[in-house]
Amino acid sequence: MARVAAIIGGGVIGGGWAARFLLNGWDVRVFDPDPEAERKISEVLANARVSMPGLSDTALPAEGALTFHDTIAQTVEGAEWIQESVPERLDMKLKVYAEIQAHCAADAIIGSSTSGFKPSELQEGATRPGQIAVTHPFNPVYLLPLIELVPTDANSADMIARAKGVISDIGMFPLHVRKEIDAHIADRFLEAVWREALWLVKDGVATTEEIDEAIRMGFGIRWAQMGLFDTYRVAGGEAGMKHFMAQFGPALKWPWTKLMDVPEFNDELVDLIAGQSDEQSGHMTIREMERIRDNNLVSMMRALKAQNFGAGAVMNRHDVKLALDAGMARRAADIADPSKPVVTVSRAVPIDWLDYNGHMTESRYLHAFADASDRLMEIIGCDQDYIATGGSFFTAETHIRHIDETHLGSRIEVRTRVLMAEGKKMHLWHEMYAGDKLLATGEHILIHVSLETRRPAPFSPEIAANLAMISEAQSGLPAPEGAGRYVGQPR
């Protein structure tokens, strides 16, 4: 039975929360009195359905059910997680919590998307204050993993642990803010940068476009992968942070910034900034800009996945969970029916796998088949621990047939057969499908080697036994059409 999340407030943030839960297999119930709420959330979902699966190298679960409701009471019925994303008015939030708590389960978690209010303010006058905490996300919620989880002493350790568990289960990163403060942690940095940017525009030092270029061409990229303090630790060279602080600490006394001052927020400043912003990017619609943003974020976060660093490490952990939840084999003993081809890859086609024709580029077919070979190696016992002992497989020959095309967001699956395994050689046959449509086949010969001599070497007994079990179980399958072909051979 699907888990249930209730979304109270279906704006940009609420819609992002709905997408994050829905695409992770949760049923989502939404309340928003705005008559346009269903249309707005549908547009957010359309973007999320294209971009979010591209973060994962394992297919997301089947999408949950999305329903819209006329009352808060109907919306929170049976919900395990209730996310409040109403406008930033404390009186409105407190009224909403009273209505939620009158109808929700006593053990449901009520998270607030507030970017500024402290949890103690949100808990004021509540029937069950320990049920409410701040769970502040970042836009787009369906891509960015950070959640600032801000509790108070009223929240039990069990509630905090359950909240962290849910946040992690949907592929996000729970940052436990141990001391409540206005605007939490991240938004305080954003407000400082925003304040200084307003002065730079007002004083005629820089335009909105020039400020954006300074961020995205420079420190923004560094911060995205290493944060603030690690960036400056590296900047200190071999002497590290102490050297950096000694070198640049005195600059804190110089009048470089106006962090404690605010320009007068009048119509003149608003018109100046809005005009420059329109000139900078007014040729694009907001939906076009959202798609560009999403594609860029997915591409950058996938690069971090390859390094298993920062947000990429969070995504990699989520991939392991998705694979386990989907029942994909991790070891030979996990294979439900070894007489059938083994599913070794199940994933969506991400943005960085496309070519100039708008479909999956040919090198990514090999990428997917290489991932399938790696998974089969893990299944038979050639994992990282085994490789550390000095044994592994090298690919000796590959033949790929490109049969049909596939596009961004398409869910692909690779099914693998062991055609032969004896001595030092493993002969694999991969078939790539999108649903029932065959996209490509890959035939691969791999040689087991000693990493010490870099020469062929016999399998270990465990690998030999697992390969024999799979190949014998699959020996009754018909010979795959196309096996043994050479390049250019007529069909």
Mean pLDDT along residues 276-285 = 88
Answer yes or no: is 181 within a domain. Answer: no
> 243 and 334: one domain?
no
Q: What are phi and psi of 179, to 5 degrees?
A: -130, 120
Domain of 136, CATH number, reads: 3.40.50.720
- Please, which pLDDT band fits residue 461 given cuts at 50, 70 and 90? very high
Q: What is the pLDDT of residue 273?
A: 81
Q: Say if residues 263 and 198 touch (Cβ distance below 8 Å).
A: yes
> 226 and 123: one domain?
no
Mean pLDDT along residues 73-98 = 97
Per-residue CA distances from 196 to 7, 191, 203, 257, 400 (Å): 35, 9, 11, 7, 55
pLDDT over 90 (residue 21): yes
Rounded Cα gap, residues 3 and 61, in angstroms: 13
> 170 and 76: one domain?
yes
Q: What is the pLDDT of residues 100-114, one digit of tens each?
A: 999 999 999 999 999
Q: Which domain holds residue 207?
A: 186-283
Q: What is the pLDDT of residue 68?
A: 97
> 155 and 229: one domain?
no
Which residue, of 176, 199, 224, is where some domain finishes? 176
Q: What is the pLDDT of residue 252?
A: 67
pLDDT over 90 (residue 396): yes
Answer yes or no: is 303 within a domain. Answer: no
Q: What is the pLDDT of residue 245?
A: 77
pTM of this structure: 0.87
Residue 16, annotated as binding a ligand: no
Q: Residue 428: which of 367, 375, 354 has the closest Cα?
A: 375
Map tokens 């996310």 to a residue: 83
Mean pLDDT along residues 336-359 = 94
Q: CB-based contacts of 471: which residues, under 8 Å, 6+ apart?
A: 418, 419, 420, 421
> 447 and 348: one domain?
yes
Answer yes or no: is 256 within a domain. Answer: yes
- Please, which pLDDT band fits residue 381 given cuts at 50, 70 and 90? very high
Q: What is the pLDDT of residue 142?
A: 97
Q: Residue 83: beta bridge partners?
A: 7, 111
> 103 and 60: one domain?
yes
- Please, which pLDDT band fits residue 407 given cuts at 50, 70 and 90? very high
Q: Tokens standing for 67? A: 């329903």
Q: What is the pLDDT of residue 121?
A: 98
Q: Identify which has the larger pLDDT, 156 or 246.
A: 156
Residue 9, annotated as binding a ligand: yes
Q: How many domains does the chain have?
A: 3
Q: What is the pLDDT of residues 156-169, one digit of tens each?
A: 999 999 999 999 99
Rounded Cα gap, residues 300 and 307, in angstroms: 11
Domain of 275, CATH number, reads: 1.10.1040.10
Q: Say if residues 281 and 216 touch (Cβ distance below 8 Å).
A: no
> 38 and 88: one domain?
yes
**Least confident span in 176-185, 230-239, 384-393:** 230-239
* β-strands 66-69, 81-84 pairing: unpaired
Residue 215 DSSP one-character state? I
- Please, which pLDDT band fits residue 263 given cuts at 50, 70 and 90? confident
Q: What is the pLDDT of residue 289?
A: 87
> 140 and 47: one domain?
yes
pLDDT over 90 (residue 321): yes
pLDDT over 90 (residue 286): no
Mean pLDDT along residues 260-271 = 82
Which residue, of 117, 142, 176, is where some domain finishes? 176
| Encoded amino acid at 168, one letter | S
Burial of 480: CB neighbours in 10 Å, binned 0-12, 13-18, 19+: middle
| Encoded amino acid at 70, one letter | D
- Please, which pLDDT band fits residue 378 given cuts at 50, 70 and 90? very high
> 107 and 246: one domain?
no
Q: Tokens standing for 44? A: 């957010």
> 229 and 139: one domain?
no
Per-residue CA distances from 395 to 87, 269, 377 (Å): 57, 63, 12
> 24 and 157: one domain?
yes
Answer yes or no: is 232 within a domain. Answer: yes
pLDDT over 70 (residue 349): yes
Residues of the chain above pLDDT 90, percent? 79
CA torsion, ordered 207, 212, 215, 220, to nearest 10 deg = 160
Rounded Cα gap, residues 318 and 350, in angstroms: 16
Which residue, of 221, 248, 283, is where some domain finishes? 283
Domain of 372, CATH number, reads: 3.10.129.10
pLDDT over 90 (residue 416): yes
Q: Residue 14: which of 34, 1, 32 has the closest Cα?
A: 32
Mean pLDDT along residues 54-76 = 96
Residue 14, annotated as binding a ligand: yes
Give the 3-state DSSP-derived string for 180-204, with helices as H, strands as E and coil as C: CCCCCCHHHHHHHHHHHHHHHHHCC
Q: Say if residues 233 and 244 touch (Cβ distance below 8 Å).
A: yes
Answer yes or no: is 479 within a domain. Answer: no
Q: What is the pLDDT of residue 362?
A: 94
Answer yes or no: is 358 within a domain. Answer: yes
Mean pLDDT along residues 332-356 = 94
Answer yes or no: is 225 within a domain. Answer: yes
Answer yes or no: is 340 within a domain. Answer: yes
Q: Identify which has the larger pLDDT, 250 or 202.
A: 202
Residue 13, annotated as binding a ligand: yes
- Please, which pLDDT band fits residue 222 given cuts at 50, 70 and 90? confident
> 432 and 402: one domain?
yes
Q: What are phi and psi of 134, to 5 degrees?
A: -80, 130
Q: Say if residues 420 and 470 touch (Cβ distance below 8 Å).
A: no
297-302 contact pairs (CB < 8 A, 24+):
297/51, 297/140, 297/143, 297/144, 298/51, 298/54, 298/55, 298/143, 298/350, 298/351, 298/352, 299/351, 299/352, 300/224, 301/55, 301/143, 302/54, 302/55, 302/350, 302/352
